[in-house]
Structure 1
Amino acid sequence: MDKSSLPCHVGIIMDGNGRWANLRGRPRVEGHKQGAHRTKEIIEAAAELGVKVLTLYAFSIENWKRPEFEVDTLMDLLDYYLQTEILELLQKGVVFKVIGNREKLPDKIRYLIDQAEDMTASNTGMLLLMAISYGGRDDILRAVQKMALNGEDIANLSEEHFVEHLDTAGCGMVDLIIRTGGEKRISNFLIWQAAYAELYFTDTLWPDFTKDDFYDAMEDYKSRQRRFGAIPEDIDTLKVTPTKCT
C-alpha cells in the first residue's frame, strides 16, 4: 500500500461481537473472545502502515449496564490480555495507554493497566490507546472537573488549553473513525476529538474484520478531500492534502 496521505490517528469502534456469536448459535462471550484475537491483527496492521495513534473502543462507560456475567467475562478477557500480550507490544515498540474512567474498574485491572503503561512508556513506536470504561461526554466532564479542582480560570478557557485536560492529551485529533457491525453512529466515542474526523462504516462484524478490510478503510480515507469547514477558491482544482504525521 502507498503509505502517503494515511491518517495519523485512527479510532475504531469494534462492534458486532455479540451478533457474530448469535449468528453461529454460540454464547455472546465467544464473540468477545474471537474479537480479542482480531484486535491483535489490526494493531499489527496499523503499526506496519505507520499509523501514529490507534484508539480502540474496547468497553464503553455505558457497557456497565450489560448483564453482570457478560461484564465479568469482558473484565476477565482484559485481565488475560494485559498479562499475556503486553510483552509482545513491548518488543514491537508499541506504547500502551488506557483512556477512560478508571474509578469504575476492578483494583486488579487498574494495577495491570498501570504496570502495562509503565512497561511500554519508553517505547517509541505507535501509541495504542485502549478506551476502557470510556465515554466522550464523561471525558469532557472530567476534564472540566479537573480544571475546576485546580482553580483554573474556566471563564476564559481556550480550546487549546482544554484539550490538554482530556484523556487523549498530546495525542492529536482523530483523523478517521472506523465502525464495524453495520451501525452508523459514533456512540459517545471521542466526541470532542472526532469533530472533523472522517467516518467509515462497514457491515462486517468485528470478529470478521481482517487486515485487508482495514486496508480498504485506509484507501477510502485517502480518496477523501478534507477541508475542515473551509471553502476552496476553485473546487475543480482542489487536491487532497497529504496528512502530516509528526
Structure 2
Amino acid sequence: MDGKQSHPGRRILKVTLFLLFVCGVIFLFQQVRDAQQAAFNSTVKCQLGQVALGEDNYQDLNGSSVFEAAQEQDISWRELLANSFEEWQETIKGTGSDRSVPSYLRTRKPPSLAWFDADNAAPSDYLTCLHAIRLSEKSEENEPVWLIAYVPQRPIQWLSKDDLSLEAFESVVHSDTKQRISCLIPQEGRSVQRDRLFKILEAARAGETVEIISRKH
C-alpha cells in the first residue's frame, strides 16, 4: 500500500524538479541575453561616438560638415570620413562596392531569444546600419544640424550615397517597438534619449530650430 502510494509522490517530485530546472535554464538564458544586449548597446554607442568624433575632426580640418561636403561631392559621407583619417582607411579593404566597412563599424545582429529575426539583416562586411539624417538647413544664424542614427531595420551599403529622409526615419522610429534605434547629434557628442528624439523630430518636421545641448553641460 505504502509502495503504491509512493509512486505518485515520486512522479510529482520529478515533475517539480524538472520544472525548477527549466525555470533555472530560462532565467540563466535571459540573464545572458540581457548581458549580450547591454554589450550590444555599448557597441552601438561606441560606433556612434566614432562617427561623431570623425565628423568633428573633419569639420576642424576642412571647415565644413562631412555630411554637407558629401552631398556637394555626390559621394557617401562614410567614404569621405574613411578617406580623411588613416585609422579608418587602414581597416578598409577592397575597392568600389566590394569595399569593406571598418571592423568596428560593421552591422551587428542584436541578440534575440529567437533563432531568426526577420527584422535584422545578417552581418556583412559591406553593410552598415549607420545613417545620417538632416534635421535642419543652414541659415545665417545656425549651422545645419545632422543626426547620426543606428537603424538595424535599414541596413545600407557602406558606400551608398542614399540615406534616410526625415520622414522615413520618423516612420521607422514610431514603428520601433523594440526600441533598437540609437541616435547621436555630433555637436552634442552624446546619445539622444527616446523622449527627446520625438521632440527633435517634431521640431525638425515643423521647420523649427533644433535645440543643441552644449557638450560642456
Verify same fold: TM over 0.5: no
Is the radius of gyration larger for structure 1 or structure 2? 2
TM class by smaller structure: under 0.3
TM-score (normalizing by structure 2): 0.28
